[in-house]
Structure 1
Amino acid sequence: MVLRRTVLGLLSAAACLAALPLAGIPAASPARAAGWPERPITLLVPWAAGGGTDATARIIGSLLEKELGQPVNVVNRVGGSGVVGHTAIAKAAPDGYTLGLATVEIAMLHWQGLTPLTYKDYTPIALMNLDPAGVQVRQDAPYATLKDLVADIKSNPGKHKASGTGQGGIWHLAIAGMLDSLGMDPASVPWVPSNGAAPGLQDLVAGGVTVVPCSIPEARSLIEAGRVKSLAIMDDAPNPIFPKVPTLKAETGSPWTIGAWRGIVGPKGLPDDITRRLTAALQKIYDSKDYKDFMGGRGFGIRYAAGPDFQAFWEKSDADLGAVMKKVGLAK
Structure 2
Amino acid sequence: MSKPIKLGRRAILAGGTAAAALALAPGSAFAAGYPERPVTVVVPWGAGGGTDATGRMIAARLEKKLGGSFNVVNRTGGSGVVGHSAIANADPDGYTIGLVTVEITMMHHVGLTELTAEDYTPLGLMNADSPGVTVSADSEYQDIASLTEAIKASEPGTFKASGTGQGGIWHLALIGWLMSEGLAPDHVTWVPSEGAAPALQDLVAGGVDLITVSLAETKSMVDAGRAVNLALMADERVGSHPDVPTLKEAGGAFALSTWRGICGPKDMDEAAASAISGALAEIAEDPEFVEFMNSRGFGIKYLDPAAHAAMMADTDTVMEQALGAAGLTSG
Q: Which category of TM-score, normalised to the shorter sequence, fits these structures? A: 0.7 to 0.9
1:211 aligned partner: 210
Structure 1 residues 154-165: aligned runs within 5 Å: 154-158=152-156, 159-165=158-164
* Alpha-carbon distance in structure 1 between the residues aligned to 2:212 and 2:90: 35
- Matching residue within 134, 148, 151 for 1:150: 148
Unaligned runs of 5+ in 2: 1-28
CA contact (8 A) 1:176 1:324 kept: no
The Cα RMSD (Å) is 3.4
SS at structure 2 position matched to 1:137 = strand
Listed as ranges, the matches of 1:230-249 within 5 Å are 230-249=229-248
Kept in 1: contact 2:30–2:278 (CA 8 A) = no
* Structure 2 residue 33 is matched with structure 1 residue 40: no
Deviations 1:151-173 (A, max 9, x none): 33333342433233343333222
Amino acid aligned to 1:153: I
* Partner residue in 1 for 2:186: 187
Between the aligned partners of 2:252 and 2:310, the Cα distance in structure 1 is 23
* SS of corresponding position for 2:230: strand
**Offset at residue 264 of structure 1 (A):** 0.7
C-alpha distance in 2, partners of 1:202/1:59? 24
Tell me the number of residue pairs that the alignment of Structure 1 and Structure 2 aligns.
Answer: 300
1:307, CA displacement in angstroms? 2.4
For residue 252 of structure 1, report the CA deviation from its aligned partner: 3.6
Structure 1 residues 309 and 181: CA distance shift in structure 2, 3 A: farther
Structure 1: 5+ residue runs without aligned partners?
1-31
DSSP-derived class of the 1:284 partner: helix
Structure 2 counterparts to residues 54-65 of structure 1, below 5 A: 54-65=52-63
For the residues of structure 2 that align with 1:84 and 1:292, how far apart are their CA atoms?
A: 30
Residue 114 of structure 1 corresponds to which residue in structure 2?
112
1:126 aligns with 2:124: yes
Which amino acid is the alignment partner of residue 134 of structure 1? G
Corresponding residue for residue 262 of structure 1 = 260
Q: Which has the higher contact order (CA 8 A, sep 6+)?
A: 2
1:308 matched to which residue of 2?
306
Structure-1 residue corresponding to 2:135: 137
Length-normalised TM-score, structure 2: 0.74
Q: Which residue of 1 aligns with 2:168?
A: 169
8 Å Cα contact 2:45/2:194 also seen in 1: no
Say whether the 8 Å CA contact 2:46–2:194 is kept in structure 1.
no
What is the distance in 2 between the residues matched to 1:40 and 1:253?
51
| Identity between Structure 1 and Structure 2 (%) | 47
Give the structure with higher Rg (CA): 1
Change (3 A) 1:326 1:121: same
Stretch of structure 1 that moved more, 288-297 or 141-150: 141-150
The structure that is helix-richer by fraction is 1
Distance 1:293 1:252 in 2: 33
